[in-house]
A = this chain, B = another copy of it.
């Protein structure tokens, strides 16, 4: 147990003086934002309703429209002066049934079904399923080297997350190509299906779904993710019986595109109503879980920013726009449409912030901005550090706000929470309300509100 003598108010004051005297006022205002969020913020209850009452909300599913309706109401309750929908055409993929995989072998100890889930956007095998020998490959290099062995087989990509990456998103970036492109790369050589090691380093056996993208030049074969323990088990069993076969059955189907919506709530700016600061996350999620950390937390944190401004009577100079994006998961059409409309209308966007990396304790903001803008935001770190953010060194921003930069040059950024637990539950059945810590999520909302307040006050 730690003996703590450090006094937070003292720390705040010191930070304030360390910067300009102006920053003392800012530190006190941000302290009030924090107190509002920590003592009676609506974010956690909003998250409970979104995850427990609505649950998984894959683009085009009935839950999509329940979530949109809930989002509009939540924005109104938070105090938005304008709430509206922006049409977004979205793909409509359905899982269609229960995904299955079983080892077929003379060995009696090989009978247990494997923990699998079909990859998003993948085509089902149909009733009969696929039964074929398995070729396990470590990576694409091995696939290419053994391409003559692939025909008529099921390819098992057993490429693990690299535990050496401290920042887990780097391990994801390194491994995710097997989920995205593995099916078509194998189909090119005549594979009948693929099984991909889940994009995770979790100490559990949950299979992790996520988007696959077929290359239209090759057969669109079934594709599944397998839990880590079962991936290791399958690998060991292939060594024990190289002649074993795998039976896989999935039911995935891409229906015609359908209509969903970005849900937008605004507080009109007092000085520059035609200049926008956007704060948001994505409202859609995968179908296998409650979409709690991906991205329910980003949604309720964004709504919390607006709610906290209203509760404290903070009138932004620029128009504050909270955007609940549609369809990040399997096509990012919500972010594309928002940027496209901003460009068509010639809107001026001061800054766009996203939260889509989980509801964990904040550590920084990653940014896609000019060096001057990064320097300006870095000068605010003494104001942000009491609530967790100590760095803005990372390059990068969220998928959805990311489209604004190439479209109209908007400086964009994303909340950067602790990343260690994210891939334990990302796109898996355990991404549920119970795996969000109330205070960690609230600290993220505080940092988002603080940065929004500073950008609105000082510009970028």
Contacts and interface: CB of A to CB of B under 8 A. Distances in A.
Interface of A: 1-6, 8, 11, 34-35, 38-39, 44, 163-170, 172-173, 201, 203, 294, 328, 356-357, 361, 366, 386-388, 390-391, 393-399, 402, 414, 416, 418, 420-421, 424, 437-440, 443
B163 A4 contact: no
Contacts of A394: 4, 6
Given A4-B394, A8-B165, A420-B443, 19 more contacts: A1-B169, A1-B172, A1-B294, A2-B356, A2-B397, A3-B398, A4-B395, A6-B170, A6-B366, A8-B170, A34-B166, A39-B163, A39-B164, A166-B388, A168-B439, A201-B439, A361-B361, A361-B418, A421-B440
Contact of A390 (B361, B390, B437): B390
A264 to B, nearest CB: 21
B3 A399 contact: yes
B357 A2 contact: yes
B356 A1 contact: yes
Nearest to A41: B163
Contact of A393 (B6, B165, B416): B6
Contacts of A166: 8, 34, 38, 386-388, 443
A284 to B, nearest CB: 12
The 7 tightest CB contacts between A and B, nearest first, are A5-B395, A4-B169, A3-B396, A38-B163, A420-B439, A420-B440, A6-B394
A439 B38 CA distance: 28
B437 A424 contact: yes
B418 A418 contact: yes
B164 A396 contact: no
A460 B73 CA distance: 59
B421 A437 contact: yes
Given A421-B437, A440-B421, A366 B167 contact: no
Given A35-B164, A39-B163, A387-B166, A398 B2 contact: yes
A388 B294 CA distance: 23
Nearest to A31: B164
Nearest to A366: B2
Contacts of A395: 4-6
